[in-house]
């Protein structure tokens, strides 16, 4: 069985901090139950080729920010694939993440249940929106701080952005300090700013939203 292991993400960008995890990719010719799916993102070679052909953002992430750490045959599978196809779904994906943010914001305002989860979804939508937008600039940014790093960065403070980022880590990994009521209120008050930013930044004129 052929196997290639890669590391990608924050470690390859030199952005590690106490909240960082280690992103590992396993490319396999067939399933291997000995490889832990909790530690690795596991893909067959065929699926990776499909992602390359589609121009999927994850393919570009791996192409630009991955490092080979093991190869069963001495080759570099991802390197040999060359550059992925052009990513052509910028507008559609920006609209998708705008919708996710808006829906999560509405849910946050309607109920005090699952506040951290809703803030986590708002963070995911904001980060992914910025990453999709960055493709249009010719300089894709995959950092979790991508909204603060693009050319038209999100107009909120690092402290407010950190509330959303912490909620994401708490929701997905159970790591970090809890989100206070005051921080939740700060996040709520910043949401219309983020929605305006998305609306103004979007590459389509079809994006609309309702204020709460």
Residue ranges per structural domain of the chain:
3-81, 90-201
Residue pLDDT, tens place only, 163-199: 999 999 999 888 888 999 999 999 999 999 999 999 9
Would you state the pLDDT for residue 203? 63
**Encoded tokens for 200:** 């103004």
CA nearest to 13, candidates 4, 3, 23: 23
Helix or strand or coil: residue 111? coil
Q: Give every CB contact of residue 3 below 8 A, 6+ residues apart in sequence.
A: 26, 27, 28, 29, 32, 70, 71, 72
Mean pLDDT calculated for residue range 43-66 = 97
Please provide the CATH number assigned to the domain covering 90-201. 1.20.120.330
Same fold, 3-81 and 90-201: no
Residue pLDDT, tens place only, 114-154: 999 999 999 999 999 999 999 999 999 999 999 999 999 99
Q: Please check whether residue 9 is in contact with residue 25, taking contact to mean a CB–CB distance below 8 angstroms.
A: no
C-beta neighbour count of 142 within 10 angstroms: 23
**The CA-based dihedral angle spanning residues 85, 96, 42, 145, taken in that order and rounded to the nearest 10 degrees:** 90
Q: Whole-number mean pLDDT of the chain?
A: 91
Mean pLDDT calculated for residue range 39-54 = 96
Say whether pLDDT at 8 is over 90: yes
Say whether pLDDT at 108 is over 50: yes
Domain 3-81 indexed as CATH 3.30.460.10:
yes
Would you state the pLDDT for residue 208? 39
CA nearest to 68, candidates 9, 8, 6: 6
Phi-psi region of 55 (alpha: psi -120 to 50; beta: other; left: phi over 0): left
């Amino acid at each position: 069985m052929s196997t290639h292991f890669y590391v990608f993400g924050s470690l390859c960008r030199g952005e590690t901090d106490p909240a960082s995890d280690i992103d590992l990719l396993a490319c396999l010719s067939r399933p291997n139950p000995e490889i832990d799916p909790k530690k690795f993102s596991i893909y067959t070679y065929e699926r990776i080729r499909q992602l390359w052909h589609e121009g999927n953002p994850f393919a570009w992430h791996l192409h630009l920010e991955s490092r080979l750490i093991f190869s069963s045959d001495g080759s570099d599978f991802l390197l040999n694939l060359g550059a992925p196809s052009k990513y052509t779904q910028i507008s559609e994906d920006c609209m998708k993440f705008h919708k996710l943010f808006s829906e999560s914001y509405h849910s946050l305002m309607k109920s005090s249940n699952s506040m951290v989860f809703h803030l986590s979804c708002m963070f995911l939508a904001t980060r992914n929106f910025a990453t999709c937008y960055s493709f249009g600039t010719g300089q894709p940014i995959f950092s979790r701080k991508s909204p603060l790093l693009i050319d038209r960065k999100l107009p909120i403070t690092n402290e407010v952005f950190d509330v959303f980022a912490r909620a994401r880590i708490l929701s997905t990994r159970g790591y970090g300090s809890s989100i206070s009521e005051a921080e939740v209120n700060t996040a709520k008050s910043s949401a219309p700013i983020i929605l305006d930013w998305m609306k103004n930044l979007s590459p389509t004129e079809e994006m609309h939203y309702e204020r709460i």
